[in-house]
Structure 1
Amino acid sequence: MEFTRRRGLQLGLSASLAALGLGLTACSTGTAGSGSSAASTTATDSFPVTIKHVYGETVIEKEPQRVATVSWVNDDVAIALGVVPVGMPKNDWGGNAQGSTPWKDAALEKAGASIGTDKAPVLYSEVDGVNFTEIAKTTPDLILAAYSGLSAEDYEKLSKIAPVIAFPETAYGTSWQESTTMIGAALGRSQAAKDLISSTEQTIKEQAAKYPQLVDKTFIFGTLDPSAAESISIFTSGDNRPKFLSSLGMKLAPVVVEAEKDVQGFYLPWSAEKANELDSQIFVSWVADEKTKDTIVKDPLLGQVPAVKKGAFVTDSDNTLTLSISASSPLSLPWTLDKFLPLLGAAADKV
């Protein structure tokens, strides 16, 4: 499952922090907070708390002091809620030279826990899957995996280290709102989580309002890759990429809504011979580089995608931008909007 999701990132993983009021101050326990509506220095909920997930229930007896994370999103959410993890994964794909992201760097700097400093989280690689050894070294009292693809075996191994919050139902299918709600409850910051969701959704709404041409435009978010054996992949409604475009007021194309009825997972393959059936007003795709866009447009099969033919074709060759949408979080989305909305708006103008 981990390999599948990472392949999905390569297929198409594809406002500002101040707008959310995320000023953070580091604490020796690994928690951080500014007292803003989006973060609090200490838990406000009473313990113990019980979190339900796909592998049962996890009881957290008292406020966590040493939180470790796996996968994407979970570290972003914890930091946004005022908790700096003692350990978190490197962003090996889509990250910067220090294995982080611009939005995470900004939040950690405000927390006094910048990467490379004494108070920074320990970073471990997940290129080969969950890094049990390095997570154990951080001696966590809670492990966050609300957005992840943990197998039952992974969950059992991690549970021997510390209580684990696994995903609620579908691997890599947890929305950022649900991740925030689950993690907020686990950290004893339920109200802060609600406030964070509200402020993030308001930021999205305000920024999207600047592009009224997007409203009700049909879209397909997928990957067109002339060099791949599976040259067309389409992301389903359960994936964060279509969820993001839907939050902007756009509509998932009926052809995808129909096709995904018989599919489990976050994407479905599509025959290049049927490219002309992928009818939508806008098509969004990750590409290896911008030269690939010309190759797609000229391709005798891929070039038949209706939105591609009409010029309403949005391509993204920035892996960091792709990561910010695919593994969307309250930290990444405000960063995303300034960069991605102009691309969508330009495509909508051609419809």
Structure 2
Amino acid sequence: MSSPIRRAPRRLAALAAGLVVGALALTGCSSSDDDQPASTATGAASDAFPVTIDGALGSATIDKQPERVVTWGWSAQDAVLALGVVPVAMPKYTYGGDANGVLPWDADQITKLGAQTPTLLTGQDTNEIPFQQIVAAKPDVILAPYSGITQDDYDKLSKIAPTVAYPEKPWATTWQDQTTIIGKALGKSAEAEKLVEQTNAHVADLAAKYPVLKGKSFVYGSNNDPGQLNVYRASDPRVQLLNQLGLVNSPSVTDLDPNPDDGSYFFQVSYENVSKIETDLLVAYFDDQAAADTFASDPLIAAMPSVKSGAFAPIVGQSFVMASSAPTVLSMPWMLDQYVPQLAAAAEKVK
């Protein structure tokens, strides 16, 4: 599986510092008239500017309500679009996106806003930041609260425009915090808080509709490497989303974790050791049904009590994988109404 969900180790981009500086100089002397559309915003700003947003890699001070917004990472564009703003540039998704590289819930929202598809930034699959493309977009702000950017990346991006990174750890910002951080950056804090409330209410309604989920233990996994089950830690947003539905983390996630402080969002358990996993439900994602069937048919996986009893709830399809791996105010309504009934059906089979 070669999806970006693997978040493979980052290959250093072959960019000399002089290239970035030179491009910045070009931005500084360029005309305001260009082929890039300005971000489309609806509603008045609810916050006063300037605003300063602190993050793990530094602080970003935004002097006035940004009009040209660039996003980086997995899901920042979702919150931006949900707040009625169309970025001038956002990542291209070869995994989970349509023929143009746009995720389906983003495409729906862009259509709803009557806008054109923004410039799509390459490099998302390999975590290689396209500095030249970002410079060309002439951003007022760069939003990357759910990303894996490094300090070096942040320093370079901050020379282009104020850059908002993650508040604590890479790839660990909750969807709620992503939304409120982005709302503050765009001068739309009240709107962002309302979106969080509405989305929380939608998840709560689903939890109430399927009470069988409440209190069931689960492990969230993936099979990206042969013979290995990736087990996601409690800090991962995809795990936290299932917690919101009433599921509880299996103690095995903690008990089997060989190095909980390694800074990653998952650890690996070999197929030979999956018998040590004690859980009511097993949740895992797959590119397609064939991959899910292959996984479940492996003798060591098939012998797991959760799989043997049918308490296995695969998330199947690239768009569904993206929606659940980086949950947002746009992706959750898109996927949960379809997936939660399947999850509940698996919970009914817990013995």
TM beyond 0.5: yes
2:80 aligned residue (60, 74, 78): 78
Preserved CA contact (<8 Å) 1:275 1:304: no
Determine helix, strand or coil for the equivalent of 1:270: strand
Residue pair 1:5, 1:172 contacting (<8 A) in 2 also: no
Deviating more after overlay: 279-288 vs 318-327: 279-288
What's 1:64 paired with?
66
CA pair 250-6 structure 1, distance change in 2 beyond 3 A: closer
1:71-128 deviation per Cα after TM superposition (whole angstroms, max 9, x unaligned)? 111111111112111111111211111111221111111111143xxxxx11121234
The one-letter code of the counterpart of 1:91 is: Y
Residue equivalent to 1:331: 330
**Shift in Å at residue 333 of structure 1?**
0.5
TM-score, with structure 2 as normaliser: 0.85
Q: 1:301 to 1:172 in 2, by over 3 A?
A: same
CA positional deviation for 1:296: 3.2
Report the counterpart of residue 43 of structure 1 in structure 2.
45
1:237 aligns with 2:234: yes
Which position in structure 1 is the counterpart of 2:247? 250
Report 1:1-351 matches (<5 A).
Answer: 6-8=5-7, 29-33=38-42, 41-115=43-117, 121-126=118-123, 127-128=125-126, 129-224=128-223, 228-260=225-257, 262-263=259-260, 264-351=263-350
Rounded Cα–Cα distance in structure 2 between residues aligned with 1:302 and 1:94? 26
User: Conserved in 2, the CA contact under 8 Å of 1:224 and 1:302?
Assistant: no
Q: Distance in 1 between matches of 2:229 and 2:95?
A: 21
Distance of aligned partners of 1:138 and 1:166 in 2 relative to their CA distance in 1, 3 Å threshold: same
2:4, 2:165 → 1: CA distance? 16
Q: What is the SS of the residue equivalent to 1:268?
A: strand
**Counterpart of 2:25?**
none
Deviations, residues 256-314 of structure 1 (Å, cap 9, x unaligned): 13334832311010122211111111101123432344433332322232211211111
Conserved in 1, the CA contact under 8 Å of 2:286 and 2:321? no
Kindly indicate whether the alpha-carbon contact (under 8 Å) linking 1:32 and 1:111 is maintained by their aligned counterparts in 2.
no
- The answer to whether the 8 A contact 2:5-2:322 is kept is no
Paired residues of 2:324 and 2:332 also in contact (CA < 8 A): yes
Does the 8 A contact of 2:289 with 2:317 survive in 1? no
- Supply the distance in 2 between the matched residues of 1:182 and 1:214 (Cα, whole angstroms): 30
String of CA shifts for 1:110-157, please: whole Å, max 9, x gaps.
111143xxxxx1112123411111111110010000111101111111
Answer whether contact 1:105 1:114 (CA < 8 A) is retained: no
2:5–2:325 contact (8 Å) kept in structure 1: no
SS at match of 2:283: strand
Q: Share of identical aligned residues, percent? A: 38
Please tell me whether the aligned partners of residues 288 and 318 of structure 2 are also in contact (alpha carbons under 8 angstroms): no
What is the RMSD computed on CA atoms of the aligned residues? 1.9
* Partner Cα distance (2:71, 2:291) in 1: 35
Superposition TM-score, scaled by structure 1 size: 0.85
Structure 1: segments with no counterpart, 5+ residues: 10-27, 34-40, 116-120
> Structure 1, residues 11-44: CA drift from partner, whole Å, max 9, x if none?
xxxxxxxxxxxxxxxxx741322xxxxxxx2211
* Matched residue count: 317
Structure 1's 151 and 330: CA in aligned 2 closer, same or farther, altered over 3 A? same
Task: Say which SS state the counterpart of residue 177 (structure 1) adopts.
Answer: helix
Matched AA of 2:40: T
Distance 1:59 1:253 in 2: 41
Deviation for aligned residue 1:4: 10
